[in-house]
Amino acid sequence: MILVSETQTVTLPSVEEIEEQDLDLDSDWNVVLLDDDHHTYDYVIEMLGDVFGYDVLQAYGFAIEVDMKKRVTLWTGALERAEAYQKKVHDYGPDWRMDTSQGSMTAILEPAR
């Protein structure tokens, strides 16, 4: 699968590629937030507090990192919980502060190495 935004193109591995890597599904997975130009810092801070329980300073640090590096690892742990966090990020909705915000931010899952 390929995700495209105005700032970057990310190619996600297929299920077959992940399976080919002989990854243990019990191993840790990263929830990675991708940057875009359609969400404010306030949105990111609020979303990270609501979804992950991060305080304002922690969430602000993640917001700065995703803005500067275009991605940030938000959480690492079991696949089932990582998938639940990813779904909560994707279900969070658009940033009401920006007319160009049509939906939630994108979070991907990657095997932790």
pLDDT by position in tens, the chain (length 113) = 555 455 556 666 655 555 555 555 679 999 999 999 999 999 999 999 999 999 999 999 999 999 999 999 999 999 999 999 999 999 999 999 999 999 999 999 999 98
Q: Where are the alpha helices (DSSP H) in 33-78?
A: 41-52, 56-69
* Domain residue limits, the chain: 24-111
Instruction: Give, in words, the CATH class of 24-111.
Output: alpha beta
Strand-pairing partners, residue 34, are: 71, 106
Q: Pull the structure tokens for residue 10.
A: 């990310």
Nearest to 83 by CA among 63, 107, 60: 107
d(CA 90, CA 24): 25
Q: What angle (nearest 5°) sits at the alpha carbon of residue 106, between those of residues 31 and 103?
A: 145
